[in-house]
Every structure is written in C-alpha cells, then in structure tokens.
Amino acid sequence: MLKSEKHSQLQIKANATQLSDTDEGGLNLSQVAAALRRRAVLIAGFTGIVAAGAVLKAESDPPVFYGQFEILTKPVTGESKAIASIPETIGAQNISSPESENITTTVKVLQSPRLLAPIVKKLQPKYPDLTYKQLERDLDVLPAQPNVLKVGYTNENEQQVKDVLQALSKSYLDYSLAERQEDINQAIKFVQDTFRKGQIQQNVEKWQDKLRVLRQKNDLVEPAQKAQQVSALIANLTQERIETRVQHEQMTAKYEELKSELAQQPAERAGNSILSENVRYQKILDQIQEADILIKKESARFTSENPTIQTLEEKKKNLLPLLQAEEARVQRDFVSRINELVARDLSLAEKIDRSNEELRKLAIVSRDYDYIQQQIKIATENYGQFIAKQQALEIEKTQKIQPWKLLDEQLTDARKPSALVDSAKRNLLLGGMLGLLLGAGAALVVDKLSNVFYTSKDVKDATYLPLLGTIPLRKELAVSLHDSGHQKPNIAAFFEVFRSLYTNILLLGSDTQIRSLVISSATPGDGKSTVALYLALAAAAMGHRVLLVDANLRCPTLHKRVGVMNIQGLTDVIASDLDWSNVIERSPFEDNLYVLSAGPIPPDPVRLLASQKMQDLMSDLQNSFDFVIYDTPPILGFADANLLAANTNGMILVAGLGKLKRTIFQQALEELQVSGTPVLGFIANKSKEAAPASHTYYQQYYKERMSAERIEVEELQETNSSIIRKVRGK
C-alpha cells in the first residue's frame, strides 16, 4: 500500500465540498489579475466602445465658453502675522497649520454664499437664469502655484462669462482688503488687551521671583558650580577612604604577624621583622640572650650552686617580665592604631554619603534652576516681541495696500477652449476610464461563469491532491514521433520536465515501489496520451525497462504517435491465446521503451478489461518490466480507467489547463470516490505559466553543452582530416 493512497482517498472525499466552496469564495488578487489578462480583448472592446461613445457625445454638445484669471494671494493673514512669534496664546496652535490647509480654506471661502450671493444678486437683472447653485457649479477655484489661485468660469453665453469674471475679480479683491483690515484690528485689540492686563510683564516678574527664592533657599549662586565643588569633595573623600582601608589591611596583617612571633620562644625572635623594629624590646631581648650565653659558658666551669651562675639566673629571671610587658605594650599599640583606622573609615563613609545626598539634591535644584532660567528667557523675548508687534500693527493699520493682486489686469477673453477638442479629450478620458472599469467587471463575470481551471494552483487548491508536475504548453508535443522522421524531437530542455515528473512519482512509494500506474483524465483532450508517451520516454531514458500500454480500446492513438503497427495488440492478447511477448514492439526512439498497442477495437472493451485474463496479464507485465504505464479513456462515461487502476499502484489524473471545467472535474472525483480508485496525484498540462528557474537553467545549460560538443566534433574532424592529408602526402 502506498503512503499516498489512503491520503488521496481522504482528500477525494473532501474534493466536492472544497470545489463548491472555492466556487463561492470569490477570486483573490492573483486570480483577478490572471482573469483580466485572459480577457484583455473583451476589456479593450468595452473600453473602445464606451470611449467612442463619449467622444461622439462631446461632438454633439453645444459650444461652451470659458474665461479665467489668476490672483496672487498671501498664505498668512494679518492676525497670524501679528501673533506668529508669540507662544502661549490661544491662536498659536492655528498658525502652524500647513500652507495646503490655508489654501483649501481660502478656496472654500471664495466659493461660499457669502461672496457669491451678492454677485448673483447684482447680475440677476441682466441674467435672470443665473442662480447661486449654477454659479457654484460652473465656477472653478484651483491653486495653480504656491500663493496663486486660478479662477475660471464656464457658460454657453460668452458675455455672461466676461461679466461674471469681472464681478468675481472685484469681489475677491474687496474681500481680501476687508479681511486684512479686520485681522489687523483684531490683532491690535489682542495686543492692547494683553498689555492692559499686564500678563506678559507679570510673567517675567513671576519667574524672576522664583529664581531669587531658589537661590536664597539653597544658599547658592550657580547650581552647576556648587555641584562641581561637591563632586570634587566626594572624589577626595573616596580617595582618602581607599588609602585608609589600605593602611588598615596592612596594620591588620602586621598585627597577625606579631601574634605569630609572640607565640615563639624568646631565643627564636632574633630575626623577627616586626619586634626587631622596637629598640626597647630588642635591647631587653639582647640582655636575656647575653645572660643565656654567660650561663652556658659558666656552667662549663661551675655547678648550679655557684654564686656567679645563680646571679646570672636571677638577672635573666628579672628581665623576662620586662620583655613580656614590652610585648603587651606593642600589642596594645597595634590594636589602638587599627581601631583608629576603622573609626576613620567610618567617618569618611559618613561624609561621602552626606556629600552624595547633597549632590542629588543639587541635581533637582539645578533642573529647577535651568527651567526657571528658560522661562525667564521666553517671557523676556515675548515681552520684546509684543512691543515690536504693536508698533508694526500700528504702522500697517494706516496703510490701504491691496493684499491680493491680479497677475493680469486684463481678464482672459471668454473663448472656446478648443471647444470640441478639450471637451472631446475630457470625455475620451472619462469614457476610457468608465469603459475600462466596465470591461474589467465584465471580464471577471465572464471568467467566473466559464468555471475553468487556468493554473496548476487552481487545481491544487480545489483538490488538495499532490501536484506531481506542471507541463508547459508546447505545440510540438501534439506531433507524433513518427512524423518527426523517426528521430526524437528537439525538445531536450523540455524533456527534463518529464524526468522530474518521473522522479516525483517514484518518491511517492514508501514500502512498495511504484511499478505500474494508469494515466487518465476527466475529459478527452486534456493531453493524457501525450503525457503517458513522454513520461515513458523519460523513464526509459533513465535506464529502466518501460512498457507503454495503449489501453484505450475505444479510440487508440498511441501507435500513431510512436510509429508502430496496430495489427495485433492488447485486444488480441486478451481475446486469443497469443503470447504478449510476441505482440509488444520495441520503440524506434528508445531501446528501453516497449509498446503494446491496443489492437482491433472490440465490441465490448469493458468486458475484456474486467476479465481475469486481463488481471493476469497486468500481473505478468508488472513482474517483467520495471515500469508499466496504461493509457486509458477518460473517466467520465467510461469505467475502463477505474478497472485497470485497481490492479496497479494507482491512477494519475491529467488536468488540461484552460479547458477543464471545475464541475466536470468535480464529477470525475466523485466517481473515483465511489469506485475507491487510488489516486496518486495530478499533472497540470498545457500550462501557460512562466517556466521555473530550474527549467530555464537547464535550457541554457543544454544549449551551451550542445554547442561545446559541436565544437569538439568539428575540431576532431579537422584533426582527422589533417592526419589523412599528411599520410597521403607521404
């Protein structure tokens, strides 16, 4: 049992639901793009028809007249100029708005009833049909360049265009002057109210008082300078503490060494490094040692009762307490010095902690100090700016200069803007866009209704069967090998696809090697016979003994493609007692490929294929050849493929892309599910997708290899010719 057979059966059971869900799930972006490419002609047709209709409509429209003028504006108003540099104001947030927002606001104001309604009222006696809605609809106010607005008006009446443009230019200039005067007055009032309330001056004084209180409270002039002094003090104290700890460790080590020395006998202390530094101790020790020497010297002459020896013993006895007292004094001196170093270390640690705490407080004070200094600077600058703004506004108020200006005093004459040409261009553009959208929609609808598989991914997503290979669309595959002059067609690079396909099929087997299989499809015309033939050629070219059986007893075609006779074939082997070894023929194109043609068409093919003789024959063929391929009729309407697949390792479906309908494929899968036929996977045939990188590389490699071999042959022929000429010359 193959590892994929059970899996394939489970997948087939889910195929019907999967296919229906896919049909209802809509198209993804890649499917939409592919559908639009396939229906490019339909889209182009829709686009052309709608665009042509739009152009014809433009030509039938009555002539339209158009006039325009341009105005130079200022992106910043008088009020914003007055308070642009003054922070902490209510209007400060609105000043930083982008120039595009200011232009957009200006355009909306120029198209508002506030400015257009008086113009309509003024011109209505001359043009009774003129209304605000009509004027707004035919009026265009657009930003042409930075600080430049283009105002255009369109109407069928040439004189009305001139009059409306004149009224608009005057109204817009008057509006700009009125707005400027109003802004200046509001700015002056704002500055005067601010000074009257004394807010700015009070703000300066407030921050100056805070700075004075901060200095008095912390007893400092500059926090940074004070912090630098404290940091230097901490560094000195830290260094002093390190030196103290070093001295403490040295003193402790000497004290331990002293105790070790005191544990020795007095006679052994002569070379001590610690006690030898004590002159008094060393002098007493020398006297004791001198007495010992005399005692030993006199003991050689006198007995212990001799007065001289007793006197020396008494002297030594009196010196020992003095030595012990000196030892005790030295120990107390060491202990005292060690305690002093410990106390000094603790004192330095306390001073360092106090200095660090003071430094942390100074950091907070320094931050507050810097913030207050910054606020004082800002408040002082604001105060100076308010004074300067007040003077500038007073000067500006006395001037009556028009803030906006017409770039061309003469209004553009009302004219036909290439009347039909511009209208036709506009309608052509709009019609083309509309036609493109309608064509794209129609293309998607038509493509959806076609219900056809176009890519291998479509089949894979719809079935979840293993994709064994994708065969590109090649017209030369439809030509029989016999028609090519009994030579293999020049498709070596393409042939690599079938080598890869055969390798994928072999990898499907786990416990049992794949020795035989059935090639079939849902409908005729999917290319199953072509795939079976070239798959057999690929397997034979890889050194395997391959048998290609034409089991399509209803319409046999393989013998024509391979170029063998169909006098006797599969029908004769089953119906008669012919030995199959006498019927099969070796392919003229590949030594390892053998062909068993279909033979005469029987009246009842299903009866022959379902017979026990056919089953025995299939078993013998599988044992005699490395690989057996059966080409069968389509699945729908015929039971031939299902009968043969039951006695092989499984069936491979060939899906003809661009032709196979989803519903037909669904019906074929349902029949396979009912029959329990093991399906190994599917092959996507006639693919128009881009070739994989490996296939492209092989094509390039094959061309280079063939070119190199041709050069080697030519060089060899030239060398042989040269040798022959030399021999003949001799």
Model confidence at 159: pLDDT above 50: yes
Higher pLDDT, 160 or 418: 160
- Report the distance separating Cα 692 and Cα 610, nearest Å: 41
Model confidence at 718: pLDDT above 90: no
The parent domain of residue 127 ranges over 65-197
Residues 182 and 244 in one domain: no
Largest interatomic CA distance in the chain: 165
Query: Of 397, 421, 437, which closes a domain?
Result: 397
Query: Could you give the 3-state DSSP secondary structure of residue 516?
Result: strand
Residue 42 CB partners (closer than 8 Å, separation 6+): 439, 442, 443, 446
Residues 623 and 701 in one domain: yes
Residues 371 and 481 in one domain: no
Number of H helices, E strands in the chain: 25, 12
Residues 579 and 694 in one domain: yes
pLDDT for position 571: 92
Name the pTM for this structure.
Answer: 0.44
Residues 509 and 573 in one domain: yes
Higher pLDDT, 92 or 444: 444
Could you tell me the CATH number of the domain that includes residue 463?
3.40.50.300
Higher pLDDT, 197 or 587: 587
Q: Using pLDDT thresholds of 50, 70 and 90, give the confidence band for residue 98.
A: low
Residues 192 and 229 in one domain: no
Residues 665 and 623 in one domain: yes
Model confidence at 11: pLDDT above 80: no
Q: Taking the CB of residue 622, how many other CB atoms lie within 10 A of it?
A: 17
The domain tally of the chain equals 3
Residues 476 and 510 in one domain: yes
pLDDT for position 644: 92
Which of 661, 393, 620 shows the shortest CA–CA distance to 515? 620
pLDDT for position 616: 92
List, for residues 509-535, the tens digit of each pLDDT value: 766 788 999 999 988 888 888 899 999
Q: Taking the CB of residue 83, how many other CB atoms lie within 10 A of it?
A: 22
Could you tell me the CATH number of the domain that includes residue 278?
1.10.287
Residues 183 and 332 in one domain: no
Residues 464 and 366 in one domain: no
**Would 142 be classed as within a structural domain?**
yes
DSSP 121: H
Residues 165 and 285 in one domain: no
Q: Using pLDDT thresholds of 50, 70 and 90, give the confidence band for residue 7.
A: very low
Model confidence at 695: pLDDT above 70: no
pLDDT for position 392: 74
Residues 253 and 140 in one domain: no
pLDDT for position 216: 65
34-38, 266-270, 724-728: least confidently modelled range: 724-728
List, for residues 211-245, the tens digit of each pLDDT value: 767 666 666 667 777 778 888 888 998 998 899 88
Model confidence at 551: pLDDT above 70: yes
List, for residues 338-396, the tens digit of each pLDDT value: 888 888 889 888 888 888 887 887 777 778 777 877 887 887 777 777 777 766 776 66
Q: Taking the CB of residue 274, how many other CB atoms lie within 10 A of it?
A: 18
- Report the distance separating Cα 646 and Cα 648, nearest Å: 6
Could you tell me the CATH number of the domain that includes residue 72?
3.30.1890
**Would 259 be classed as within a structural domain?**
yes
Percent of the chain with pLDDT over 70: 70
pLDDT for position 613: 92
14-28, 95-109, 596-610, 677-691: least confidently modelled range: 14-28
